[in-house]
Structure 1
Amino acid sequence: MFFGDMMFTFAPIFIGIIFIIVLGFIIFRILSSIKQGIKNKNSPLLTVPAEIASKRIHVQGDHSHTTYYVTFEVQSGDRMELIVEGKEYGMLVEQDLGLLSFQGTRYISFERQK
C-alpha cells in the first residue's frame, strides 16, 4: 500500500469523525437550550429591587451576531447577569435603581425608580 492510497482511505474517515463531532455539538447545544427554557418556564416570576451594576456585549463572527448582557445587583449583594435585547440594552444605564423582573435566567423587564 502506498502513502497516497492511505490518504484516500483516511480522508473519508477523518471527515466523517469531524462531521459526527460537529453534529454532536449542535445537538448538545439544542438540547441544553431546550432544557434551560423548560427550567425557566417552571421557575417563579420574581420582581426584586436591583441596581444595574454593569453592561457588556459579545460579538460573534464579523458583526453578524451580538449578544447583550446586563449585570444586576440585588439587595442581598448577589449579582446576576442576564441577556437582554439590543433595544432594551440601550435604554439601561449603569447605577440605575429599579425593579428587576426575571424568570429563572430569563430577563423580563427593569422599571427605573423615579
Structure 2
Amino acid sequence: MGDPFFTSNIYPLLFMIIVGVILFKFFKGVVQWRHNNKQPILTVNSKVVSKRTKTSRQMHNFRDNQHHHAINDFYATFEVENGERLELLLTGKEYRELEEGDIGKLTFQGTRYHNFERMTEV
C-alpha cells in the first residue's frame, strides 16, 4: 500500500509549500507596490519596440463541474531616449491601442505604466 509515514506527512508538507508560495508572491507584490510609490512619475520620449501576452490557465472544480478559464497579462517594451528598455504591464485596452514602432511620450512610475501619448506626424 505504501509507507504510512510518507502518506500521512505529505499532505501537510504540500499545504505548507503552497501557503509559502502564496505568501511569498503576496509580499513580493507589496514590496514592488511600495517601491513604485516612492519613485517619481516620469514622462520621457520613447518607442514601442515589442508587445507580448502571457496566458495563465486556471481550473476550478465546483461540485464535479470543471470550469477552465485563461488569464491574460499584457506587456509592452518601450525604448527610452538613453537606449534603456522597460517592459511594463498594461491593461488589455492599453495594449490594443499600442502598435510596435509607435513613438511618443511614455509616463511611468517605477515599473508602473501610466500612459503613452503617441506623437502625431506633421
Cα distance in 2 between the residues matched to 1:31 and 1:12: 30
Q: Does 1:37 align with 2:30?
A: no
Which residue in 1 is equivalent to 2:74? 68
Q: Does 1:90 align with 2:96?
A: yes
Structure with more of its chain in strand, by fraction: 2
SS at match of 1:22: helix
Scaled by the length of structure 1, the TM-score of the pair is: 0.91
Q: Does 1:8 align with 2:11?
A: no
RMSD between aligned residues? 1.2
Structure with more of its chain in helix, by fraction: 1
Structure 1 counterpart of 2:91, which letter? Answer: E
Cα distance in 1 between the residues matched to 2:23 and 2:31: 12
Scaled by the length of structure 2, the TM-score of the pair is: 0.86
Structure 2 counterpart of 1:60, which letter? Answer: S
Determine which of 103, 108, 112 is the counterpart of 2:114: 108
Aligned identity (percent) is 39
Structure 2 counterpart of 1:8, which letter? Answer: P
Extract unaligned runs of 5+ from structure 2: 58-67
**Would the alpha carbon gap of residues 63 and 70 (structure 1) be closer, same or farther in structure 2, given more than 3 Å must change?**
farther
Structure 2 counterpart of 1:83, which letter? Answer: L
Q: Does 1:46 align with 2:42?
A: yes
- Kindly provide the CA deviation profile for residues 26-66 of structure 1, in whole angstroms up to 9, marking residues without a partner as x: 00000000000000011100000000000000101165200
Cα distance in 2 between the residues matched to 1:41 and 1:12: 45
SS at match of 2:99: coil
Cα distance in 2 between the residues matched to 1:60 and 1:30: 17
Extract unaligned runs of 5+ from structure 1: none
- Kindly provide the CA deviation profile for residues 74-114 of structure 1, in whole angstroms up to 9, marking residues without a partner as x: 01111010000001100001111000000000000000011
